[in-house]
Amino acid sequence: MTSKTRKGPTRPLTLKDAFEVEFARREMDRRKRAEAERKQQEEDLARATQLLEALQADADFLTKRNLTVDRRRYTVSIDHQDFRIAAYFEAGKASVTLSDKRTANPGAAAPRKQLTVDTLEEALSVMAQFLVDETR
């Protein structure tokens, strides 16, 4: 003997039902985007922290060249009285800039050079290149 399961009479889809389904779908999408953004920000912050640690590894080198190193959230900078080299991490990439402090108002140094790189190692290499350019 077989038994068939019967579904009850289906009621027609209403505007309210369609709204709730769409609202739930959008909320789920929003949460996925927010989680992905949060993870990316964590990765960017971790990379900035790793770069800071790499730059601070040789304090004597920094002192001899009158350099200070600082991190503000996603930006790691090397400061000298005449220039600033900064790496800003966002969306898995780093934008490395060289700004001249000699020709700008205090705090308003405009970038003279800028490169976008994909890895922490590339950011460190470009910062070193910019530093050599400024100290030769």
pLDDT tens by residue, 5-23: 666 667 788 999 999 999 9
22: which 2 tokens? 């769409």
pLDDT, residue 73, reads 92
Beta-sheet strand order (sheet of 75-79)? 68-72, 75-79, 83-90, 93-100, 111-117
Q: What is the mean pLDDT of residues 72-91?
A: 94
Please name every residue paired with 90 in a beta bridge, in sequence order, or none if there are none.
93
pLDDT, residue 105, reads 63
CB-CB contact of 120 with 47 (8 Å): yes
Amino acid at 119: T
Element (H, E) at 60: helix 59-64
The residue ranking higher by pLDDT, 129 or 6, is 129
